[in-house]
Amino acid sequence: MSRHSPGAGGDTPSPARDPLLETGPRLALCAFLQGAEWVDFATARDALAVSDSAISKHSRTLEDAGYLEVRKGSIGRRPRTWFRLTAPGRAALGGHLAWLTGLSRAHGSPAVKNEVDPVTTR
Amino acid sequence: MPDTPELAQVADARRSLAAHALFPRSYWAVYGLALVAFAGMPIWMSYLPSDDWAYLSWVIAAVGVGSAVYSVVRRRSSGVYLPRRISAYPTARRIWLVGIAVAVGGFAGIHQLVEHAHRDVALYLLAPVAVAVFLSQVATRSAMRADIEAGRVTP
């Protein structure tokens, strides 16, 4: 994948540290949601190997910040909760990942391309 | 591997999500059979008396409904709703377009051969067309997984 210089416009986010994403599993949760339309609460919890309360607490923080959209419903009689990353959430994640990648490069150890690519933020 | 714990976390999370883009082997087995059945439709129809064609639309409708039900059940059971639009996956979209071109061209070629009484040649053409379409679909799914792992998806 081609990379553009930061801040050059297009799909490349400007590097920007976001302290909100530095606590607990918030960064991993946002990264998990980045490629999906909606993800079930239990699936996110299992994928990130964290407790119900941790997902609940951090998702609420992200929702309050406008990074996450939460939808409640049910399948049959079982109540379900789904998460989706919002456009501001994608932008914040992209910026934070660009900042982390830049930091990693500045320390002389570039992150492997395709392992973490902050390009997609739309 | 990324050298910082944060980037490693992100890579792991994306890899975990990307696993949901792949289909089980049983899906590909059924898909392969359905592909040969549909791609060879002009050939099979040439063996049937014209009265039996009325059932064909029911068969196509049943496969369509079955495919839609499988998709819904799979999304519900996995808890992951990946984007359905192929345009959401930039790399996979190119491979998918090639696969569609091969499928349409192959089907049209087989149809023309049967129309011009070259049914034996059409039967020989069916195998490479089916294999090419099958491989393009498998490659499309692999590219979708790679797009998710690389964070290139735009839901």
Buried b / exposed e over B107-117, threshold 16 CB at 10 Å, is bebbeebbeee
Number of domains in chain A: 1
Query: Nearest C-alpha of chain A: how many angstroms from B153?
Result: 5
Q: Is residue A73 in some structural domain? A: yes
Q: Is residue B155 in some structural domain? A: no
Q: pLDDT tens digits, residue range A78-113?
A: 899 999 999 999 999 999 999 999 988 887 755 544
CB-based contact, B71 to chain A, within 8 Å: no
Q: Identify the pLDDT of residue B60.
A: 83
Q: Identify the pLDDT of residue A32.
A: 96
Q: Is residue B154 in some structural domain? A: no
Q: Is residue B57 in some structural domain? A: yes
Q: Is residue B70 in some structural domain? A: yes
Interface of A with B in 25-54 (CB under 8 A): 25, 27-29, 31-32, 34-40, 42-44, 47-48
Q: Is residue B124 in some structural domain? A: yes
Number of domains in chain B: 1
Q: Which domain holds residue B34?
A: 5-149
CB-based contact, A1 to chain B, within 8 Å: yes
Q: Is residue A10 in some structural domain? A: no
d(CA B96, CA A67): 32
Q: Identify the pLDDT of residue A8.
A: 35
- What's A30's domain CATH number? 1.10.10.10
Q: Is residue A44 in some structural domain? A: yes
d(CA A33, CA A81): 14
Q: What is the ipTM of this complex?
A: 0.83
Q: Is residue A34 in some structural domain? A: yes
Q: Is residue A121 in some structural domain? A: no
Amino acid at residue number A5: S
Best of B22, B80, B87 to mutate (most A CBs within 10 Å, chain A): B80
Q: Which domain holds residue A79?
A: 19-106
**B83: nearest CB among A32, A37, A101:** A37
Best of A32, A33, A99 to mutate (most B CBs within 10 Å, chain B): A32
Query: Nearest C-alpha of chain B: how many angstroms from A11?
Result: 10
Instruction: Print the SS3 string covering chain B.
Output: CCCCHHHHHHHHHHHHHHHHHCCCHHHHHHHHHHHHHHHCHHHHHHHCCHHHHHHHHHHHHHHHHHHHHHHHHHHHHHCEECCCCHHHCHHHHHHHHHHHHHHHHHHHHHHHHHHCCCHHHHHHHHHHHHHHHHHHHHHHHHHHHHHHHCCCCCC
Q: Identify the pLDDT of residue A41.
A: 96
pLDDT along chain B (155 residues), means of 10: 79 94 92 90 82 75 89 89 94 95 94 92 93 95 96 90
Per-residue confidence at A117, pLDDT binned at 50, 70, 90? low
Query: Nearest C-alpha of chain B: how many angstroms from A27?
Result: 7
Q: pLDDT tens digits, residue range A31-78?
A: 999 999 999 999 999 999 999 999 999 999 999 999 999 999 988 888
Q: Identify the pLDDT of residue A6.
A: 34
d(CA A32, CA B148): 9
Q: Identify the pLDDT of residue A121.
A: 46
Query: Nearest C-alpha of chain A: how many angstroms from B79?
Result: 5
Q: Is residue A56 in some structural domain? A: yes
